[in-house]
Amino acid sequence: MLLANHPLLGKTIPGDTASRLNIRAADDTARFSLRIDPAAVQSAGTAFGAPLPTRIGGMVEAGGRTALQLGPDEWMLMAPVAEGDGIVDAFSALGETHSLVDVGHREVGILVEGEAASLALRSAIAFDIDAMPVGTGCRTIFDKAQIVLIREDKTRFRIEVWRSFADHVWGLLQAVSREIALGI
């Protein structure tokens, strides 16, 4: 990835105490946008090296790889950076018609963790975060910026945001962390 231009590299918002809220930039990762006929989802899973979910919002994590279904024929795939080229090779050998686009440089990840994580996200996301099941993800709007939100655990979320919007999202998270720390 073009780390020299990474807007959030190494940044952290410590929050009030480590247990209540901790926000930090996620480690670099390989990312792909996959479009394929849902009928071919099994062979796509074989190419990816981990099964793909079959329900919009569903997510499967296996062997360090993550697949999230965003639309009827759209998946977001994530894997360790070093495995990105291998995934491209595997898909180019796939017989099914598909589109696999490397979007690794387009986005940055932000980890929002702690007891107050859903409270922090609620400040800029319109749907009921607490009702979001663990192990699911979806595209949505954070303030005015489009993001993908993943609930990794009850108190741990991951935001995937286009790098040009990352500063905006980060600034709002900084402000809300301050509000939570002050108890307002």
Partner 1 sequence: MLLIRCPYCEAERPEVEFTYAGEAHIARPTNPSVLSDDEWRDFLFIRSNPRGRHFERWRHMHGCGRFFNAVRDTVTDKFAMTYRAGAPRPSDEEIALAATSAATRAKDARP
By CB under 8 A, name the binding residues for partner 1.
56-57, 70-72, 74, 126-129, 131-133, 138-141, 146
Residue 166 Cβ vs partner 1, minimum distance, rounded to whole Å: 17
Question: Could you give phi then psi for residue 160, rounded to 5 degrees?
Answer: -110, 120
For residues 13 and 148, which CB has a smaller minimum distance to partner 1 in the complex? 148
Residue 71 Cβ vs partner 1, minimum distance, rounded to whole Å: 4
Residue 137 Cβ vs partner 1, minimum distance, rounded to whole Å: 11
Q: How far is CA 61 from the centre of its chain?
A: 12
Q: Record the tokens describing residue 83, joined without a space.
A: 């495995």
Question: DSSP labels for the chain?
Answer: --GGG-TTTT-EE--SSTTT-EEEEPPP-EEEEEEE-GGGHHHHHHHHTSPPPSSTTBEEEETTEEEEEEETTEEEEEE-GGGHHHHHHHHHT--S-EEEEE-TTTEEEEEEESTTHHHHHHTTB-S-GGGSPTTEEEEEEETTEEEEEEEEETTEEEEEEEHHHHHHHHHHHHHHHHHHHTT-
Residue 144 Cβ vs partner 1, minimum distance, rounded to whole Å: 9
Residue 146 Cβ vs partner 1, minimum distance, rounded to whole Å: 5
For residues 1 and 68, which CB has a smaller minimum distance to partner 1 in the complex? 68
For residues 1 and 44, which CB has a smaller minimum distance to partner 1 in the complex? 44
For residues 20 and 152, which CB has a smaller minimum distance to partner 1 in the complex? 152
For residues 3 and 128, which CB has a smaller minimum distance to partner 1 in the complex? 128
Residue 127 Cβ vs partner 1, minimum distance, rounded to whole Å: 4
For residues 17 and 146, which CB has a smaller minimum distance to partner 1 in the complex? 146
